[in-house]
Chain A
């Protein structure tokens, strides 16, 4: 079923891309447009994966978007106000993301409160902190090296996009090949059975939340590098896309089933809708409407297919 879902998505993505290329008189395939297309695809991919790793254990992370913004602003502060070199700021952003994720996970296991509520609370706190770093100010003109990295291309492909793909491959290998990755999936699929097999569900929850935070840190690095400036509004519009990508990609909210390829393809589809909006000068709001319809359609289609193939999941 996962296979067919990913196959369907790949076909839709390819058809959509071809249709858009034809409709724009192949403007989409010119170096500049294609470059921008892929450059701004990096963030949705990573943010979708950050949500996916907690969905794997049947949790949600509402703080993922705001955490990305917080890490981005914090690394801006480190470079501009604290005068630290870019590599330190990048590592600090990653560490900060992982630590906040760890705190989320620990709160979930120690308070036994639903992860939805815990991350709702930490999201609210992070919104305050994100603003607290620099108020309404914008950090720009930091490390030329980092901004060049954000604009650089390797054989015509933006480096940040390659970074996002590398992260996706890493996440896929983690879930497919490593013991902790398999433990996460086992715990998400059936916590009781996992416990009987000697897997610590608590550890799986903490690990998933920490990973989610770390990926949000990576998303922050991509923002800092590719956007060239950061302020306190970053991350506000990332929450819904973070759910849209995995859900369209066929990841089950109940946990235990993930699809890295599906998530990446879904992020690609959402980006396609985004680009057609700018290419055809459509009202920005139609995009929200269309993405809402696509998410719902994808879910209904999945349900329908399950019914056809017989039996409940």
Chain B
């Protein structure tokens, strides 16, 4: 279950904060560690309550596929949270991009990879448009993306009606079914050498690694974080802040498109409702993982853990026959509790760190 998060560990060690660490906080003050413990405790709890939770085929494989989608959704939001911006249109950007993919498969009959790249380009394009509007006009990102979301909501439905006469494409590009149903175990002598990990997982892991490396080691990523941390200082240091805003939003659109593709692969259909459920989880994952709304600092590993936690809760409560609406109640309570604890931990850690020095 931890397999998809473990490989990213080297990408973003806890010290992802770009500001020089004035005081070293104690280990227990690390929100990532807390998340890991909570996830482990919940897995133990759920599997003792219902043994079906550990069923590799019926529970664990779909769970990993779900986590993959929502890790990428969280990363899409994280890309703009790095600036201190928000992307309220993250779901609808995914919807528009998957429409482009579906259209390409349906009308042009392109291979799976070409359609994916096309959709990613559409996502990056619409994200860049949002970034351009924000950078050029200086209007709050919340307003721009909210309006964009409203507009795209209409546009996507109109486009689906125009292209399919309904709400989804009937086309099934070759390879999509494999992404949906197969695990590594299907390709190598049962479970001898391949674990039961769905094929979508490595895509999400690659995305997380890429984003992690970008923000940790690439000049571009550091410049985006600088812009988010202090725009004026960044501008004075010669960073083209406007261009970095556009880049970050384009990245957000691109990741939203990728998340849309993964969800379409999991569902087995390119349909208009893709992305409808993205908004809340997109904030949940990074915020639980310790990324601030203020900008300037991100945690990719935390986002992956945050997404894992939410999906584990969903899956576990779902197996225990909770209804979707009840799930929402508990997810909301968990979010509040986690954030309050985080706050408490931060305050205690500050006190502990201040006193010896």
Q: Which residues of A contact B (CB under 8 A)?
A: 60, 107, 111-114, 116-118, 120-132, 232, 240, 243-244, 247, 253-254, 283, 285-293, 295-296, 299-300, 303
Q: Are A292's CB and B142's CB within 8 A?
A: no
- Given the interface contacts A128-B332, A129-B329, does A299 sit within 8 Å of B151 by beta carbon? no
Interface residues of B (CB under 8 A from A): 86, 133, 137-140, 142-144, 146-155, 157-158, 161, 280, 283, 287, 293, 323, 325-333, 335-336, 339-340, 343
Given contacts A125-B332, A132-B326, A285-B154, contact A240 B146 (CB under 8 A): yes
By the criterion CB–CB under 8 Å, are B150 and A128 in contact? Answer: no
Q: Which residues of the other chain, B, contact A118 by a CB distance below 8 angstroms?
A: 336, 339
In contact, A292 and B154 (Cβ under 8 angstroms): yes
Whether B158 and A295, one on each chain, are in contact in the complex, defined by CB atoms closer than 8 angstroms, is: no
Contact (Cβ within 8 A) B326 A285: no
Cross-interface CB contact of A117 among B152, B293, B331, cutoff 8 Å = B293
- Residues of B within 8 Å of A60, CB to CB, are 142
From B139, B152, B328, A303 is in contact (CB under 8 Å) with B139
Q: With A and B bound together, what is the CA distance between A291 and B151 in angstroms?
A: 7
**Are the CB atoms of B343 and A124 closer together than 8 Å?**
no
Q: How far is the CA of A113 from the CA of B344 in the complex (A)?
A: 11
Partner of B339 from the list A113, A129, A254, A295 (CB cut-off 8 Å) is: A113
Q: Which residues of B contact A126 (CB under 8 A)?
A: 332
A128 touches which one: B143, B151, B326, B339 (CB < 8 A)?
Answer: B326
Kindly provide the distance from the CB of A78 to the nearest chain B CB, expressed in whole angstroms. Answer: 20
B330 touches A128 (CB 8 A): yes
Contact status of A117 and B283, CB under 8 A, knowing A111-B343, A132-B326: yes
**B residues less than 8 Å from A130 (CB atoms):** 325
B139 touches A124 (CB 8 A): no
Given A285-B153, A285-B157; A295-B143 close (CB under 8 Å)? yes
Chain B residues with Cβ below 8 Å from A300 are 133, 137, 139
> Could you list 10 examples of A-B contacts with CB < 8 Å?
A111-B340, A113-B343, A121-B332, A121-B333, A127-B329, A128-B330, A131-B323, A283-B157, A295-B146, A303-B139
* Given known A124-B332, A128-B330, A285-B157, contact A291–B325 (CB-CB < 8 A): no
- With A120-B283, A132-B326, A253-B142 in contact, do A292 and B332 touch (Cβ < 8 Å)? no
A124: contacting residue among B86, B142, B149, B329, CB under 8 A? B329
Partner of A292, one of B150, B158, B283, B335: B150
Q: What would 13 more interface pairs be, CB under 8 Å, given A289-B158, A295-B147? A: A120-B280, A124-B280, A131-B328, A132-B326, A240-B150, A247-B143, A289-B150, A292-B151, A293-B147, A293-B151, A299-B139, A300-B139, A303-B139
Pick the contact of B146: A128, A243, A289 (CB < 8 A).
Answer: A243
Name which residue of chain B comes closest to A130, CB basis.
Answer: B325
Q: Given that A111-B340, A296-B148 are contacting pairs, would A128 and B327 also be in contact in the complex, using a CB cutoff of 8 Å?
A: yes
Chain B residues positioned under 8 Å from A303 (CB to CB): 137-139
Whether B155 lies near A289 (C-beta < 8 A) is yes
B278 to chain A, nearest CB (A): 13
B-side interface mostly: helix
**Interface contact A111-B330, CB-CB below 8 Å:** no
Given contacts A117-B287, A292-B147, contact A125 B154 (CB under 8 A): no
A286 and B154 form a contact (CB under 8 A): yes
Give the top 8 A-B pairs by smallest Cβ distance, nearest first. A128-B329, A292-B151, A289-B154, A292-B150, A124-B332, A131-B325, A288-B154, A125-B332
A132 B154 Cβ-Cβ under 8 A: no
Is the pair B158, A285 in contact by a Cβ cutoff of 8 Å? yes
Q: How far is the CB of B13 from chain A (nearest CB, A)?
A: 25
| Contact B150–A295 (Cβ < 8 Å) | yes
Q: How far is the CA of A126 from the CA of B332 in the complex (A)?
A: 9
Q: Are B152 and A292 in contact (CB under 8 A)?
A: yes
In the assembled complex, how far is the CB of residue A99 from the closest CB belonging to chain B, in whole angstroms? Answer: 16
Q: Is the CB of B336 within 8 A of A121?
A: yes
Chain A residues near B293 (CB-CB < 8 A):
114, 116-117
Taking CB atoms, residues of chain A closer than 8 Å to B157 are: 283, 285
The residue in chain A whose Cβ has the minimal distance to the Cβ of B334 is A121
A112 smallest CB distance to B (angstroms) = 6
| Distance between Cα atoms of A197 and B150 in the complex (Å) | 41
**Contact present for B340 and A283 (CB under 8 Å):** no
Q: Which residues of A contact B343 (CB under 8 A)?
A: 111-113
Docked complex Cα distance between A128 and B312 (Å): 18
A303 to B137, CA, bound (A): 7
Min CB gap A212→B, angstroms:
17
B313 to A: closest C-beta gap in Å: 12
Kindly provide the distance from the CB of B134 to the nearest chain A CB, expressed in whole angstroms: 11
Bound-complex Cα distance A101 to B309 (A): 28
Chain B residues whose CB sits within 8 angstroms of the CB of A131 once the complex forms: 323, 325-326, 328
| Docked pose: A132 CA to B322 CA in angstroms | 12
**Considering the chains assembled together, what is the distance between the CA atoms of A293 and B327 in angstroms?**
35
Chain A proximity of B136: nearest CB distance (Å): 9
The distance in angstroms between the C-alpha atoms of A123 and B329, with both chains bound, is 9
B343 nearest CB across to chain A (Å): 5
Q: Are A107 and B158 in contact (CB under 8 A)?
A: no
- CB pair A288–B150 under 8 Å, yes or no, is yes
A240 vs B149: C-alpha distance in the bound complex, in angstroms? 9
List, in ascending order, chain B residues with CB within 8 A of A124's CB: 280, 328-329, 331-332, 335
**Which residues from B are CB-within-8-Å of A125?**
328-329, 332-333, 336
Across the interface, which residues of B come within 8 angstroms of A253, CB to CB? 140, 142-143
Which residue of chain A lies nearest to B338 when distances are taken between CB atoms in the complex?
A: A121
Our pick among B137, B139, B152, B154 for the contact of A287 (Cβ within 8 Å) is B154
Q: Which of B86, B155, B336 has the most CB of A within 10 A?
A: B336
Please, which residues of chain A bring their CB within 8 A of the CB of B149? Answer: 240, 292
What residues of B have a CB within 8 angstroms of the CB of A295 in the complex? 143, 146-147, 150
How many Å lie between the Cα of A293 and that of B152 in the bound state? Answer: 10
Inter-chain CA distance A244–B339, complex, in Å, is: 29
Give the CA-CA distance A42 to B178 in the complex, in Å: 52
CA distance A253 to B138 in the complex (A): 13
Give Cα A128–Cα B152 distance, bound, in whole angstroms. Answer: 27
A28 to chain B, nearest CB (A): 23
